[in-house]
Amino acid sequence: MSTSSAPVPTRPHALPTTESGRRVTFVPPRPRARTSRRVRRRRLALGAVAVAGAVALGASAIGALAGSSGLQLPPMPPVFPGTVFTPSADDGFIDDGMQVSLWDDDLPAISRLDPELLAAMRAAEARAADDGIRLGVTSGWRSAAYQQWLLDDRIASVGEETARAYVATPEQSRHVSGDAIDIGPVDAQYWLISYGSEFGICQTYGNEPWHFELATTPGSECPPMRTDANG
């Protein structure tokens, strides 16, 4: 797909205004509910303590049983409660609150995106820069393990129904397939919602103004949005 030689449509070099000339006000998205890292770490630590305690209790109960009955039981296998999955940069993880560049090719979050989506986003970025808007990437490609971790983490913090409205399963996630990208800050989201279709880029979930996919032919209208990641 080549958009470099296509004629540039004329449009105002400013964010849209209302008929009266006032700037359209943009209601920022509801911040994603998250659990702080410290709370998550504490939860993990408490979980580990609970597991270790249960293992110790079980072992002593079995030991008592074996001692009283004279049974010879095989030794308990070692348990490592600390081996909990933590997403890394190799899984496409980008720290909470961080934004990376569309040119950070050394990050799998960027390099494992669909090449067509990445090319379209870079073309859009160049045009956005003309309007003084910087497109930052808050999430790109994700490993299936990271997506599952994200879903579990959100379910634990906001409950199943809300979590599933925002986080797809690894099988369904467009991030895992490399076909979706999350953009910030809010002015960049608004710019991409307004002009992304010139590059084939569309907001695809009504409840996620930060989430974009290649969803139309460049220059055509975007298809109707799905309500949320569950719909």
Which residues would be at the binding site for Zn ion (CB under 5 A)? 180, 182, 211
- Residue whose CB is less far from Zn ion, 182 or 198: 182
3-class secondary structure, 38? helix
Q: What's the min distance (Å) between Cβ of 140 and Zn ion?
A: 9
Report the nearest approach of Zn ion to the CB of residue 56 (Å): 42
Cβ 166 to Zn ion shortest distance, Å = 9
**3-state DSSP call for residue 56?**
helix
The CB density around residue 116, as the number of other CB atoms within 10 Å, is 12
The per-residue b/e assignment along 26-40, b for 16 or more CB within 10 angstroms, e otherwise, is eeeeeeeeeeeeeee
CA-closest candidate to residue 199, choices 118, 88, 113, 101: 118
**How are beta strands 180-184 and 136-139 bridged, if at all?**
antiparallel
Task: Identify the helix (H) or strand (E) that includes residue 161.
Answer: helix 160-166
Task: State the minimum distance, in angstroms, from the CB of residue 182 to Zn ion.
Answer: 4
Residue closer to Zn ion by CB (options 91, 182) is 182
Pick the closest to residue 138 from 183, 172, 74, 90 (CA basis).
183
133 versus 181: smaller Cβ distance to Zn ion: 181
Residue closest to Zn ion when measured from CB atoms: 211
Nearest distance, CB of residue 150 and Zn ion, angstroms: 10
